[in-house]
Structure 1
Amino acid sequence: MKTDRRHLLLGLAGAGVSACAGEPDGVATAPRVRWLARREGGLHILTNTSLMGPVLAAFQRRWPEIAVRLEDINSTLIANRVQSRAASGLEGPDLVWSTAMDVQVKLINDGYAQVYRSPHRAAMPDGSVWRDQAFGVTAEPVVFAYNRRRLPSEIVPRSHAQLLERLSTDADRFFRRVTLYDAERSGVALLQLSADIQIYPDAWALMTALGSTHPRADTSGQRMMGQLAEGRMAFAYNMNQSYGASWVARAPDIGLVTPEDYHLSVSRVAFIPRNAAHPNAARLFLDFLLSREGQRIIAGLGVRPARDDILTERRASIPGARPVRVGPALLANLDQARREALLQRWRAAMQAAERAPDDPRAP
């Protein structure tokens, strides 16, 4: 199938829609919805994102009447749970929040989500909300990670083009020292692969060069960053910046590079299932996530929030961002013929890769 840039990325998301002067303060949820949320008294969240703890703690301080239950499982299990409970006529989870943008959009497109017009909708940038059902809560750069002892500063690649050059001119330094997510087993990795090949003309040459290093293809960010910290690996390709930063804080040998030619910007997408058991509590929590308060808490965790008006100088947008927009273009990733064509080329490029064991918590 011929690749069409419009399938996934429509260039930069643009300056977006900045917060309007009349945006209400606080969560701004309608009084009746807040009253019903208290009556419901519960909130069940399915997620594959690890940043929930401080956000949930702040929400519960404000709404102690609502008991929150969190399940952290991978995106495939999330989709199966949403689909199976709806098919059986059972109540579903109340909010689904996942890094697998295409899987989230597919569930919404297939009718598993309900519409909610958040009072903070006008403050959200273009490309971050779709049909008032899918809400991109973050806008996170995808970066390179490396071990400072294994890769001296003058060797660290600063762009995709420079990485391709380094893999050719300094191959021994990278041999069996590269780790990357397994696109065949990780939905997030397949999403990033699809984006890379649409943006970077030499993406397949880069994949072949990465494969020639006999890399470790993994599904566990925990393992990947752990091996990088220990020095068993020298370089990790396409790592979520906020996750990488959490490791830098405790492993000083790890460094991060935002590629200078371009970098993907991805979102953690949330939606409220149509059969949510506590839909009003879900609306209240979603409004909290999108509010200035919720977005500031997310920013305080070292994660770039979706809203441009929350950004400080320290977290300002980095040049070269290529946002993956929340919307129907993501469905192209799940077209079976296109998916198989992508994976066939990826397998060919990665013939020499070591395949790490599966991780049921992988994104």
Structure 2
Amino acid sequence: MRQFALSLFLIFTAGWAGAFEAEDVARFGPSDSERELRIISTADIAFIKPMISSFLASDPGIAIEYTVVGSSELQKAIVDEGEAFDVAISSAMDLQTKLANDGWAQSFTSEATSSLPSWAVWNDMLFAFTQEPAAIVVSKSGFGDIPLPESRNDLINLLRQHPELFRGRVGTYDVRQSGLGYLFATQDTRASEIYWRLTEVMGGLDAQLFCCSSDMIDAVKSGDLLIAYNVLGSYAINREDRDEFAIILPSDFTTVMLRTALIPSNAPSSELAALFLDHLMTRSHGQDAQVLTNPALDLSQNEAALNRIRIGPGLLVFLDQLKKRAFLSEWESAILQK
């Protein structure tokens, strides 16, 4: 009997250990509804809540379970564990493209998706609903009279001129853990070799590594960091305390991520998923769009420097295991300098 119980315990714990890790879970709508939409997403609840609220206002009988995960955990939930979600939303465009390319997404067309600009849709499976720049976030109080950097070259010079001020107080993504961080880093290297010089300088100053933009912004606010590099500008501008830090879109080039949604191939409620996607696209595009990002983050002011990441198979290059291992090895050498 003890052996049987031990076997059950081992089976249970092995399954539990392999389960994807959720950062947060929220429920919206009536608790007793038979119409439930399950969404798995890398977007913070506060960021996506206005879109969910407007959707439920049009059909209050729907219940929504919203699960927040990291981009790698989203892949794990859908591919490795076969979890049944109706909509998958992610900022990691390369991983979303891989899901669609590998057959994990349904094809979907509607009047709303047919009217999307060409850059916002791929193969009728991936649909973009935001344009979010990678920004440099700096502490206004921590900088004092020091001029704020406007470009990556300015940032490099600043760090070299004030090493003791910035030692241990510069932060960026841990690209080994963050799918979005890895996407931003690989796109930076495609745009310019300056990324490697900047990474080496940050590494020489004991840069702090983070999983998420929100954590980096919190660290800037608390004073633990003075600079956070490649932070989602949309998260920074949407905060009520945004006057406490400066949000800089680098003048040399500003990488712009498109947040995308797809309907997984095993979605249990495809019809509800279609309704939500139509709402998402209608509210995010066109003259009457009510975008999720604060209009103060005006990309048109920096149009010439924008480096929009394009959805498509080109994003799969750095997901090749040999290329990824090589990239991470070079990144670790630059940032960790052990």
Q: For the superposition of Structure 1 and Structure 2, which TM-score range results when normalised by the shorter chain?
A: 0.7 to 0.9
Q: TM-score scaled to structure 2, two decimals? A: 0.83
Given that residues 72 and 177 in structure 2 are in contact (C-alpha distance below 8 angstroms), is that contact kept between their aligned partners in structure 1?
Answer: no
Given that residues 70 and 178 in structure 2 are in contact (C-alpha distance below 8 angstroms), is that contact kept between their aligned partners in structure 1?
Answer: no
Deviation at 1:122, TM superposition (A): 4.3
Deviation at 1:214, TM superposition (A): 0.8
CA separation in 1, counterparts of 2:228 and 2:292? Answer: 25
- Which of 36, 44, 48 matches 1:42? 36
CA RMSD of aligned residues (A): 2.3
- Which structure has the highest helix share of the two? 2
Q: 1:348 is aligned with what amino acid?
A: S
CA separation in 1, counterparts of 2:269 and 2:199? Answer: 45
CA separation in 2, counterparts of 1:41 and 1:297? Answer: 27
CA 1:93–1:199 in 2, change beyond 3 Å: closer, same or farther? same
Equivalent positions of 1:67-78 (< 5 A) are 67-78=63-74
CA 1:127–1:170 in 2, change beyond 3 Å: closer, same or farther? same
What's 1:359 paired with? none
Unaligned 5+ segments in structure 1 are 1-38, 305-312, 354-363
Given that residues 288 and 294 in structure 1 are in contact (C-alpha distance below 8 angstroms), is that contact kept between their aligned partners in structure 2?
Answer: no
Tell me the percent identity.
27
Deviation at 1:200, TM superposition (A): 1.4
Unaligned 5+ segments in structure 2 are 1-32
Deviation at 1:321, TM superposition (A): 0.8
What's 1:211 paired with? 203
What's 2:265 paired with? 274
CA separation in 2, counterparts of 1:262 and 1:294? Answer: 24
Provide the aligned length of Structure 1 versus Structure 2.
302
What's 1:357 paired with? none
Q: TM-score scaled to structure 1, two decimals? A: 0.77
- Which of 297, 302, 323 matches 1:318? 302
- Which of 47, 53, 57 matches 2:49? 53
Higher relative contact order (CA 8 A, sep 6+): 1
Deviation at 1:170, TM superposition (A): 2.6
Given that residues 127 and 326 in structure 1 are in contact (C-alpha distance below 8 angstroms), is that contact kept between their aligned partners in structure 2?
Answer: yes
Q: 1:72 is aligned with what amino acid?
A: V
- Which of 98, 122, 130 matches 1:138? 130
Aligned-partner SS, 1:56 = helix
Equivalent positions of 1:2-81 (< 5 A) are 41-50=35-44, 51-81=47-77
Structure 1, 50-59 or 168-177: larger mean CA deviation: 168-177
Given that residues 40 and 66 in structure 2 are in contact (C-alpha distance below 8 angstroms), is that contact kept between their aligned partners in structure 1?
Answer: yes
Deviation at 1:128, TM superposition (A): 2.1
- Which structure has the highest strand share of the two? 2
CA 1:137–1:40 in 2, change beyond 3 Å: closer, same or farther? farther
Corresponding position: 1:233 with 2:229? no
- Which of 334, 339, 347 matches 2:324? 339
CA 1:325–1:315 in 2, change beyond 3 Å: closer, same or farther? closer
